[in-house]
Structure 1
């Protein structure tokens, strides 16, 4: 779901059209069959993820169009090499930045189409938005600060072999920022740009319902993410569709662990082959259903879950710290023991 479409011979084009029709009719079943094309590597074509031109509002009030450059436009020089490394880190994070990833996710699981997709927090839009103040840590954040937070929460870096996000100044940030800068080539600054972030979906007047959410999940999400929400892996043990909860998913500190954030992402981007199919109510219900399951512990927690809820989740739209089916949500689950990679002392 992350790459640009590629033209081919006439018979191949007809085959592509046939695949489009199959997916339009079969939705998730066809998409599951395409899983080995690799959901998180950026290999799914633009027609599947709905890549679109972004409309922006210029200072003179007129609208402008913006489209991120294609991979074919990456320059063949030192900077281009950094851009390609950044794209590889972004779409294959668990391999390219393995020491700092403590789960089975990649950046492109949430930032679709390799960071291009509007309303999936596209990176070209993020690049022209930072530095900015964030209430999450109550300070001005640079892009490097923001990405470090993504490693800590979405990539669950505390459970990685290094036990932490890449340190400030690491080449991982230089390469990722080179990729973001390049994606933003020609993007307007100091103006409102459509497609920034995940958008928003108003909370239904009647709230949300976990039972309905489970039904929405079974009917629309399980075909790719599995009936148990643990994703699907290829023959090499690598996720083709990511886990949505459990020890290999994002931790309780991630933005996607908030129901309103997840609802907006789901509404605008899922199911992958039919974004926008779900109603606002469906999106909120299934987002709450995801949030009712355990995931790795919030690394900011000091003391009890209740202490952390008051300190870091107060006012959030989340089930963190609540009792669901007799269980306290937020205690953390499934964090594998980080192996000790310290070389043995001489003579041992």
Structure 2
């Protein structure tokens, strides 16, 4: 039995702080959902949105039910997947800068999808999902092996450098393929920027089971990852099975990143920023961090998506570009913090 009393001993009053944090996060998420349903090329009032959800047959009902509601649901799914994937990666690598984008996982999925489109002309969502899974797991395992090479086991610095190198390498090949093959470029350019604009019902039907499976595995691994955070030797002494925990963590990250990337393209920085933010009110317990990330990450993604709809005089800015604008300064701030390594 894994002992995790160290993370259960929270300061006096911390439970109230956690409850307040989750209440605020759920409230902000509800507000973002309302804005996502109301704001667009045609603005709608809250009354019109409620009537549309209730089944009104006017133009507003068509806009909300067929366009904005699926888009909002996809944003919630993709946001939760990326947020929890980032938290899992930070926990099992003990690297506070771990992120599906920064460690090359998104780049691996994007490369596999682009290569599949170029070599086999894949267009179906089912094929895209499986190629994204393959690229995600290869990139995840490759980065972890690079970071674990040599004495001392996995080190955060080696993992980060390996992820950046693999991500840049795969991104370069992906760009080369799309430039050499114009038909692939036309097919992939919107997807490569990271977007949740297109959300047909079959997309939600494909993505949801994989995201839910990844969340379940992440929840299972949260307890053992509390012990892993104390170091491999102490984790083994406490009864934690390190290899099994890391395998489950890798599978969870693969399912979450593969499904999110297949559905919305490579969206960076969500998994980096959100776990650090939720630690302010959850504390160091990975179980609460994962739960907080599943709530707070959709807030960031939906808010970025809404901002992308209104920031340009005409047209929309893909959500992946908006999160990059927000995430780059956050990454710089995290790197400059002296206590950034304290997970």
Structure 2 length-normalised TM? 0.26
Structure 1 length-normalised TM? 0.26
More helix by share: 2
More strand by share: 1
